[in-house]
Amino acid sequence: MRPGAGQSGQASPEYVGLILLVALSAAAFAAVKVEPGIASAVQGAFCDAVGAECAPAVTPQESLEQQEAILEDALEGTLGEFLAMKSSPEHDPRMDYSDDGCSAPTGSEKFWFHFREACERHDFGYRNSKRLGLFDDYKERIDLLFADDMIAACEEEAWWQRRPCRWMAGVYFGAVSIGGGSCDLPGELLGRVPGPCAPEHG
C-alpha cells in the first residue's frame, strides 16, 4: 500500500501553509513593542504580513463605549425603531435583548392594555445599563421613557379605554419607580398618568 504524505516525510501544501502561518504570527509578535494596546499592534502587524484586510481590534473600553452608544440609540429613537433593531438578525450580539414583560404579575402575554412593546424597551434598558454598570445613571430616564411609551400605547385604544389605560400605565410606572426608591412624575406627565405615583395618591 502506498504510504500517505505524512508517512513518506512529504508535507502537504496545507501543512506547509500552517507552518508558514505560525511563523508569520511569531514574526508579528516579535516585531511589536510590548505596551498598552499590544493586541491592536499585533493584529496590524499580522494582517500586514499576510496581506489581509483586518478589522481593527477593539479594546475593552472601546467595547463598553460602543455598547453604551447602542443603549443610547435604543433610548433616543422611537419605540418602533427599537423594535426593528431588536428583531434584526444583525443586531449587536453583545447586547441583552431578552425580556420578561417587565415582570408583569398578570403574565408577560396577558397585559390589560398593549404595554408589551413598552416593556420590551424598558427591560432592554434595565438589563443593559446594569450589565454596563450604568444603571444609576440611566434608571430614571428609562422609567420616564417607559411612561411615555405606555401613554402612547393608550392613545391607540378606543376613547373609552384611554382613561383606565393611563391609570394602568401609572400603576406600572409606579411599580418600577418605587422599586428604585422614587415615585416622582415630571411636570409633563402630571395629570396624564393617574395611579399610585399621581399627586392625589401622595
Stated length of the chain: 202
Active site residue 201: no
Q: What crossing angle do the helices spanning 60-76 and 135-154 adopt, rounded to 10°? A: 20
Question: CB under 8 Å, gap of 24 or more: what pairs does 147-152 form?
Answer: 147/173, 147/185, 147/189, 147/193, 148/189, 149/79, 149/115, 149/117, 149/118, 149/121, 149/122, 150/113, 150/115, 150/118, 151/189, 151/192, 151/193, 152/79, 152/118
Q: For the chain, how are helix, strand and coil distributed in percent, rounded to 5?
A: 65, 0, 35
Contact between 170 and 146 under an 8 Å Cβ cutoff? The reply is no
Catalytic residues: 122
